[in-house]
Amino acid sequence: MASRVYRLLDTLDLEEGYEKRFPCPDCNSGDPDLGIKVFDGQAIWNCFRCETKGSKYLGMKAHEVKKKLGKINDTKWQEDTCHKLNLMEVPPYVVYKDDSDLLNGFKTYWGLEHVQLQYDVRDKRAVFPIHDEDNRLIDAVGRSLDGSLPKWYKYTGAATLYKTCQGTSNGVAVVVEDVISAHTICSVCPNVTGVALLGTVMNEEHMEYLQDYSKVIIALDRDASKKTLTYKRDVASWTGVDTIAMLLQDDIKYKEEDDKTLLMALCK
């Protein structure tokens, strides 16, 4: 299958920065569904219809190397600034892709149709962007859609939490483990903020963020019930905020009726 794309590549004048769409030689739809771009000497392609994807190292031509080296000093201040601001440079294989069956199936299954996600066409991941208080993109969390590992992937590691809220916050935050659970909190209790730890380890940055809420509910997965109780004590002690440990019947994203009923009662 890839050899068909290779034959197409051989007919193109591929240089750094090249980007164009063509009819896909694999699915033969006739529409320009196959996107090809060249980034850092590598041709990257993916079809938005049949999900053909791949990459091929091309190397860089002499004039491209010279041009790239000549730009290093001119762009160093921009790179330093981005590093200081912890801004994320979106990889070329992470795109907005509304017609992916995998992504749309994932959004439907978890009730995330309203969430603006991106799609990692290389690793087949649903990508949740993470912005800071100034709305700058600093990180993203990718969820595997085809069972590959790791199941969850952080693109920069700059973010320590993921938060989401539907409507205006009512001052209640519910701490969960993953981003799907954070969105589940919002769908069950609008105006409540879902805060995902992006794991099960709570640190000082989490405490500093949570201290601005009037109530905090710790609702980690059932298999982390001991940590739920420990973090309840830690948050209450560190922040002075009214903190409740919610012991779940199951992972909150599965929306067990008993868990939803208890969550709505605690969030009032």
Enclosing H/E stretch for 56: strand 53-57
Structural domain ending residue among the three candidates 139, 159, 179: 159
* pLDDT for res 79: 42
69 plus 104 within the same structural domain: no
121 plus 168 within the same structural domain: no
164 plus 260 within the same structural domain: yes
* 34: CB partners within 8 A, 6+ apart: 5, 8, 21, 22, 23, 24, 25, 45, 46, 47, 48, 52
Structural domain ending residue among the three candidates 85, 102, 136: 85
Given a cut of 50, is residue 72 above it in pLDDT? Answer: no
Angle at 206 between CA 87 and CA 140, to 5 degrees: 35
Given a cut of 90, is residue 109 above it in pLDDT? Answer: yes
140 plus 181 within the same structural domain: no
Given a cut of 80, is residue 120 above it in pLDDT? Answer: yes
Enclosing H/E stretch for 128: strand 125-131
166 plus 122 within the same structural domain: no
Given a cut of 60, is residue 69 above it in pLDDT? Answer: no
Residue 229 to residues 38, 201, 233, 248, Cα–Cα distance (Å): 51, 13, 7, 12
What dihedral do alpha carbons 196, 149, 105, 2 form, nearest 10°? 140
Given a cut of 70, is residue 77 above it in pLDDT? Answer: no
109 plus 180 within the same structural domain: no
Count of CB atoms within 10 A of residue 180's CB? 25
- Measured CA to CA, the distance from residue 220 to residue 199 in angstroms comes to 10
CATH number, domain with residue 178: 3.40.1360.10
Residue 187 is encoded by which pair of tokens?
A: 């769908």
Q: Which one has a higher pLDDT value, 156 or 245?
A: 245
- Report if pTM > 0.95: no
Looking at residues 52-57, what average pLDDT do you find? 79
Q: Reduce the DSSP state of residue 186 to 3 states and report it.
A: helix
Q: Which ranges of the chain does DSSP label H, i.e. alpha helix?
A: 2-10, 62-85, 101-110, 179-188, 204-210, 225-239, 257-266
Q: How far apart are the first and last CA of the chain?
A: 56
Looking at residues 230-258, what average pLDDT do you find? 94
Given a cut of 60, is residue 111 above it in pLDDT? Answer: yes
What is the average pLDDT score of the chain? Answer: 85
175 plus 213 within the same structural domain: yes
155 plus 173 within the same structural domain: no
117 plus 204 within the same structural domain: no
- Measured CA to CA, the distance from residue 203 to residue 142 in angstroms comes to 22
Lowest mean pLDDT among 69-78, 233-242, 247-256: 69-78
Q: Give the pLDDT band (50/70/90) at residue 1.
A: very low
Number of domains in the chain: 3
114 plus 211 within the same structural domain: no
Domain range holding 81?
1-85
119 plus 213 within the same structural domain: no
81 close to 71: Cβ distance less than 8 angstroms: no
* 244: CB partners within 8 A, 6+ apart: 215, 216, 217, 218, 232, 266
266 plus 212 within the same structural domain: yes
- Measured CA to CA, the distance from residue 13 to residue 249 in angstroms comes to 59
Angle at 86 between CA 85 and CA 90, to 5 degrees: 120
Structural domain ending residue among the three candidates 56, 85, 114: 85
Q: Give the pLDDT band (50/70/90) at residue 84.
A: very low
Identify the DSSP state of 160.
Answer: S
